[in-house]
Every structure is written in structure tokens, then in C-alpha cells.
């Protein structure tokens, strides 16, 4: 049967590395949820955890506060996302400096979306960095940072074609990016084709798939339409009729995400970046399936054996 194609090999966990993405909380309740999530995922020893940066720099302080708390209170390595929307170069440089003084050594460098919203025309600040590649260059000049950038397996909606899109990724790599993290996608063939295109263009950095466990199919479908990610018909069918059945929705979502990740493992992928949406359960379950486990779980497993 199809679903048993990917039996867990005991050695998978040794070959696979994960990172987790969080967004900075807006209020006390969201803050509590984020810290429950961080506490649950920390024992899985991710390579790093990243904290997003709001549109137009609107969450700069909250991103810094969240990153600072991760540095102080956990064993995790945080990466701060940064965008250069609507900011002059000196302002962006000051934020890079501020993060560096906090102890940040990793960044995820992004141009960001236009302040007027996704789909409106992007206009760089007159004295600002024009795109992700220029921001990467500024970070490289500011210090010895590990710099990740974005990549778009289905091309960025503003890119007229794949060649333009890949060219931007190449510029980011030439400026110092050492890893690309992809926009989420649900069709692994599209990811594989994109990686092949990048390799043909002389891009050899890891292109880490961004995995989005589907916490709410309706929201994901709406967001996908805005950011140019395809929602295959088979995915819509899996979640059909589950809008008012959160328990089954969650079970299906963890099966779908595990299936996607296990298929990518079969294709030789070793690094995964999870968009956690500040929730632990689905990500924790998928990590378990690929052999990423806390020491406590491993110990309990060996004791039972």
C-alpha cells in the first residue's frame, strides 16, 4: 500500500537536520503559546530556530525581544529574520548592529513585501537596499554572520520567469548567503526541479525545503494563492469536509506533512525548515516520524526494547 512506502529506517534521524521558524508574539497569550512551543521543541535539538520580522519592520522590537529571550533562556541558536522594506541603509545597518550586540550570529535576509501589501508594486526606499541580495551584502560587510536567504520553488510572484528568479538567488549567494530556505510547497517534484535549475546556474549552497504543516487548510489555501504556491487538488481533497473537525484535521495534517518529508528524505534531502506557526504538535509528530527525537524519548525506547 502506498502509505507504507516509507517505513522509518532507524538511521534516518542521524542524517536529517531540522530548523524551526517562529513569529514574534503580539500579546501575553500568544507569548505563552510560543514559549510552550519552544519548550516542547527544544529537546529535538534543531540546528537553529528563526524568528520572523514583520512587514515594514513592524515587529523589530518584538523580534529582538524574542531572539534575546531565546538566547538567554534556552540552549537554542536563534536566527533573526530581517527585511529592508521602507528603511534607509543606515537604519537597516543599525538594526543589524543591534542584533549583533544582542549576540545574534545568524540572519535570514529578506527584501520583504511592499508595505501596501502582497501584490502591490515594490518600491525600494530611495536610500535603501533594493532587494534581498543587497541586504545580504550589507550583513556580510557588517560581520561574520551565517546568512540564509529565501528561494521560491514555484518562482516568486514578481519574477517574470525562472531565469530571473534564479538570477536573484545567484546574486544573493555571490553576496555571501550560505543557505537558502524555500517558500513552502506541496509538490516535491517542483522543489526538485528548482534545485536542478539552481545547480545548473552554478548555485551550490543547500536549498532547504520549507515545510508548512497545514494547521488550517482554508487559511493555507488563501495564503498560497497570494504567494504563488500551488495547492494540488489531492491536498484539497484530503482536507475536504474537515473545517469543523479539528481533531481529524490535525491527524490528516500530520500524515500529509510526514508523507512529504519522508518522500524528500527518499530523494536525498537531509535538512528541513519547519514553519511552526508557533505550534508544536504537528512539527513534533513529523520530527518523530523522521527519527528526530528527544533524548528522553530515545531513552524510553531503549528501556522498553
Catalytic residues: 21
Piece in contact with ligand FAD (CB under 6 A), picked from 8-16, 159-167, 280-288, 293-301: 159-167
Of 74, 159, 178, 294, the one binding ligand FAD (CB under 6 A) is: 159
Q: Tell which positions 245-304 bind ligand FAD, by CB under 6 A.
A: none
Q: Which is nearer to ligand FAD, 231 or 250 (CB)?
A: 231
Contact status: 132 vs ligand FAD (CB under 6 A): yes
Is 209 one of the binding residues for ligand FAD (CB under 6 A)?
Answer: no
Interacting residue with ligand FAD among 183, 224, 254, 276 (CB under 6 A): 183
The residue (of 16 and 133) whose beta carbon lies closer to ligand FAD is 133
Q: Nearer to ligand FAD by C-beta: 185 or 252?
A: 185
Query: What HEC string does the chain produce?
Result: CHHHCCCCCCCHHHHCEEEEEECCCCCHHHHHHHHHHHHHHHHHCCCCEEECCCHHHCCHHHHHHHHHHHHHHCCCCEEEEEECCCCCHHHHHHHHHHHHHHCCCEEEEECCCCCCCCCCCCCCCCCCCCCHHHHHHHHHHHCCCEEEEEECCCCCCCCCCHHHHHHHHHHHHHCCCCEEEEEECCCHHHHHHHHHHHHHCCCCCCEEEEECCCCCHHHHHHHHHHHCCCCCHHHHHHHCCCCCCHHHHHHHHHHHHHHHHHHHHHCCCCEEEEECCCCCHHHHHHHHHCCCCCHHHHHHHHHHC
Among the listed ranges 25-33, 106-114, 197-205, 277-285, the one in contact with ligand FAD (CB under 6 A) is 106-114
Closest CB to ligand FAD among residues 157, 301 = 157
Does 111 help bind ligand FAD (rule: CB under 6 A)?
Answer: yes
Assess 78 for contact with ligand FAD (CB under 6 A): no
Of 76, 108, 147, 207, the one binding ligand FAD (CB under 6 A) is 108
Cβ neighbours, 10 Å, residue 243:
11
Distance, in Å, from the CA atom of 55 to the CA atom of 82, rounded to the nearest integer, reads 10
Kindly tell me which of 104 and 250 has the beta carbon lying closer to ligand FAD. Answer: 104
The span from the CA of 184 to the CA of 168, in Å, is 18
Q: Is 165 in the site for ligand FAD (CB under 6 A)?
A: yes
- Does the footprint of ligand FAD cover residue 168 (CB under 6 A)? yes
Tell me: does residue 154 bind ligand FAD (CB under 6 A): no
Binding mask 42-61 for ligand FAD (x = CB under 6 A): ----------xx-x------
Q: Which residues bind ligand FAD (CB under 6 A)?
A: 52-53, 55, 81, 83, 108, 110-113, 131-132, 150, 156, 158-159, 164-165, 168, 181, 183, 210
Amino acid at each position: 500500500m502506498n502509505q507504507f512506502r516509507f517505513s522509518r529506517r532507524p538511521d534516518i534521524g542521524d542524517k536529517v537536520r531540522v530548523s524551526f521558524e517562529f513569529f514574534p508574539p503580539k500579546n501575553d497569550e500568544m507569548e505563552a503559546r510560543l514559549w510552550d512551543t519552544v519548550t516542547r521543541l527544544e529537546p529535538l535539538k534543531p540546528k537553529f530556530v528563526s524568528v520572523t520580522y514583520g512587514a515594514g519592520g513592524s515587529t523589530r522590537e518584538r523580534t529582538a525581544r524574542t531572539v534575546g529571550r531565546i538566547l538567554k533562556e534556552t540552549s537554542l541558536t536563534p536566527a533573526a529574520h530581517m527585511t529592508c522594506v521602507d528603511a534607509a541603509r543606515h537604519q537597516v545597518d543599525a538594526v543589524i548592529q543591534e542584533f549583533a550586540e544582542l549576540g545574534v550570529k545568524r540572519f535570514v535576509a529578506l527584501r520583504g513585501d511592499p508595505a501596501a501589501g502582497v501584490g502591490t508594486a515594490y518600491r525600494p526606499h530611495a536610500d535603501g537596499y533594493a532587494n534581498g541580495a543587497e541586504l545580504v551584502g550589507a550583513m556580510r560587510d557588517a560581520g561574520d554572520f551565517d546568512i540564509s536567504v529565501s528561494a521560491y520553488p514555484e518562482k516568486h510572484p514578481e519574477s517574470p520567469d525562472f531565469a530571473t528568479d534564479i538570477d536573484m538567488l545567484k546574486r544573493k549567494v555571490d553576496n555571501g548567503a550560505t543557505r537558502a530556505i524555500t517558500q513552502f510547497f506541496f509538490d516535491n517534484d517542483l522543489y526538485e526541479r528548482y534545485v536542478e535549475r539552481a545547480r545548473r546556474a552554478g548555485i551550490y549552497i543547500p536549498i532547504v525545503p520549507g515545510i508548512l504543516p497545514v494547521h488550517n487548510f482554508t487559511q493555507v489555501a488563501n495564503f498560497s494563492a497570494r504567494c504563488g504556491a500551488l495547492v494540488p487538488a489531492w491536498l484539497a481533497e484530503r482536507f475536504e469536509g474537515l473545517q469543523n473537525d479539528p481533531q481529524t484535521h490535525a491527524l490528516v495534517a500530520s500524515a500529509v506533512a510526514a508523507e512529504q518529508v519522508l518522500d524528500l528524505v527518499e530523494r536525498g534531502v537531509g535538512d528541513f525548515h519547519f514553519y511552526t506557526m508557533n505550534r508544536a504538535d504537528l512539527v513534533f509528530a513529523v520530527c518523530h516520524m523522521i527519527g528526530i527525537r528527544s533524548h528522553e524519548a530515545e531513552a524510553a525506547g531503549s528501556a522498553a526494547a
